Amino acid sequence: MGAYVVGGAALKIDRHFELGYKDLAYRVVRDCPECSDVDYVIVASALPELSAHQVDLGIHVVQWIGRRVPALRVESGESSGLAAVDLAASLVSSGRARRVLVLGVEKVTEYPTYTANYFYSLTLDYEYEVLRGISPPAYAALAMKELMNSGVRRECFSGWAIRMHENAVSVPHAMLRFKISLESFKDSQVLAEPLTLYDSFASGDGAAAVVVSSKPNEGDSSPEIVYSGAEVGLPAYLRDRVSDLTASVGLLRRAAERLGLDLRRAAVELHDSYTVYPIAILKGLGYLDDRCDLGGFEYLNLSGGLKARGHPVGATGVYQVYEIFKLMTDGLGGRTAPAEYGLAHSMSGPDNSSRVVVLRR
Amino acid sequence: MRLSPQQFWRIRENQYRLFITVCGSCGRKAILKRPVCPYCGSDRVHHVESSGLGVLESFTKVYYRRNSSEDDLPKFIGVVRLTEGVRVVGEIVGVGADELREGMEVEAVLRRYASDDPYGVIYYGIKFKPV
């Protein structure tokens, strides 16, 4: 039995001080007509225990939005969203469910930024990385230095950020809908040399929904989930190079080979928590030389990516699938991607885990 | 932050000393005393203790705040190649930015990791300083 994406919705990623987890979930479901007829709910969220003192979020969300269907929460760090879509496809394909609502929701602004930074750092190993002072931007900076030492120019990373901001301008739910320039980097706050705030994802609250169904919508071309896979990498401190993102590169290569998919022709959403990671991945796949010419990619992170659309940690993968669904159907911010395939890629930490979901029109 | 004396006591060996796991199957070595080889999954492993001496291969100056105080910023996070050939990532202390350079010899020292409050639990563990 197939699994099709038949609808969805997304809230603007922002500092929603007036909305909690349950409120965000309700708002996005309210905006999603397809979300009403479902027999299972999967909530994707990484931080509720930390930021809202809440366990069993799946059940509490379902009760709040007035559904009486089985529910659970999926947590796999930054890749929680794609893990939830993967599980939804399995439930539908196996006949265990008919229509699954995948609801990504996250609050990252409940505390001051330094506390949010601490929560986000816990995607690393608490005992052997976090306690030792290691943080996600420290790894990203070490990875960036490695690439720069091997000939990649600093402008490659800045160029990624500039392109993401350009893409986000027309995306209604993107957090940072403005352009930046190379000049912007000169005054940008340093997170970990040589990495700056402008190399980092936009941090905001968000909620996105997609409905995964055993049948396509009548009379339209609902894209089918034709691949979903995951791979686990080594901890960054055990690799020869921090920038060797072998889990992501291997998984993307496998997905492309299995489907005969060319990333340059597909609607692709790559995980770009820091600008260094998509560059490292595309170099690892052999698409980029040291000049980082991205011109060959037709539909690359048209959402603006984590960089500019934003990264509500555990909800991000659901945003990605929603965006690809929109690009392949009635459009996202006035743009469509008339591609055969759409691919969402997510990872948690510096490639600790990697996930890919592929849709075909 | 809420620190747990129990949790830290349980992991004290890997925080207070530098152990290396040596795999009897694939022959690779990895930092930390581990029950299985992280590279091949074999449990045919034994453990040796590092001399604590090594070379700083790379480092970054970090301004990323994770607590309410900026007292410990900026900090230096570095990749150290131990003389036993194993890499470890940790904080570099006792040196200024203009003195730090790649290729510098460093040694492991015991320093404070974290504390709950002025009267709370304090965690200590391995950091590195120039020799």
Nearest CA to A66 out of A41, A91, A45 is that of A41
Q: Which residue has the higher pLDDT, A184 or B91?
A: B91
Query: What percent of chain B clears pLDDT 70, i.e. is strictly above it?
Result: 99
pLDDT tens for B52-81 read 999 999 999 999 999 877 778 899 999 999
As a whole number, mean pLDDT of residues A247-252 equals 98
Which residues are paired to A175 by β-bridges? none
Would the pLDDT of B1 be above 60?
A: no
Question: What are the φ/ψ torsions at residue A40 (nearest 5 degrees)?
Answer: -160, 145
> Are the beta carbons of A206 and A11 closer than 8 angstroms?
yes
The owner of tokens 């409050």 is B117
Mean pLDDT for all residues in chain A: 96
Residues of B in contact with A189 (CB under 8 A): 63
Kindly provide the ipTM of the predicted complex, given to two decimals: 0.96
DSSP string over B23-74 = ETTT--EEES--SS-TTT----EEEEE--SEEEEEEEEEE----SS--TT-S
Neighbours of A219 (CB within 10 A): 5
**DSSP letters for A331-349:** -BTTB----SEEEEEEEET
Contact B60 A121 (CB under 8 A): no
A16 φ/ψ angles, rounded to the nearest 5 degrees? -90, 70
Q: pLDDT class for A63, splitting at 50, 70, 90?
A: very high
pLDDT higher for A240 or B69? A240
**B32-57: average pLDDT:** 98
Determine the distance from the C-alpha atom of residue A178 to the mean position of all C-alpha atoms in its chain, rounded to a whole number.
Answer: 20
Q: With a cut of 90, say whether residue A264 has pLDDT above it.
A: yes
Give the tens place of pLDDT for each residue, A146-166.
999 999 999 999 999 999 999
With contacts defined as CB-CB under 8 Å, which chain B residues touch A142? Answer: 58-60, 77, 79, 89
Do B75 and A133 count as a contact with CB atoms less than 8 A apart?
yes
pLDDT per position as a tens digit, A29-60: 999 999 999 999 999 999 999 999 999 999 99
Same fold, A4-111+205-213 and A135-200+221-360: yes
Q: Tell me which CATH code domain A4-111+205-213 carries.
A: 3.40.47.10
Which of B32, B39, B61 is facing A128, going by the closest CB pair? B32
Task: Identify the burial level of B64 via C-beta atoms within 10 angstroms of its C-beta, where 0-12 means exposed, 13-18 middle and 19 or more buried.
Answer: buried
Stretch A328-334: mean pLDDT: 95
- A1 — pLDDT class (breaks 50, 70, 90): confident
Domains of chain A: which residue ranges? 4-111+205-213, 135-200+221-360
Q: With an 8 Å Cβ cutoff, are B113 and A132 in contact?
A: yes
- Mean pLDDT over A312-324 rounds to 98
How many domains does chain B divide into? 1
In the predicted model, what is the mean pLDDT of residues B47-56? 98
A324 Rama class: left (phi>0) / alpha (psi -120 to 50) / beta: alpha
Write down how long chain A is. Answer: 361
Q: How far apart are CA B91 and CA A154, in angstroms?
A: 25
Q: What distance in Å separates the CA atoms of residue A67 and residue A65, rounded to the nearest whole number?
A: 6
pLDDT at A318: 98
pLDDT digits (tens, 9 = 90+) for A162-179: 999 999 999 999 999 999
> Residue B60 and residue A114: Cβ atoms within 8 Å?
no
Give the right CATH number for A135-200+221-360 from 3.40.30.10, 3.40.47.10, 3.90.1640.10, 3.20.20.140.
3.40.47.10
- pLDDT bracket for residue B118 (50, 70, 90): confident
Domain containing B27 equals 5-130
Confidence (pLDDT) at A218: 84
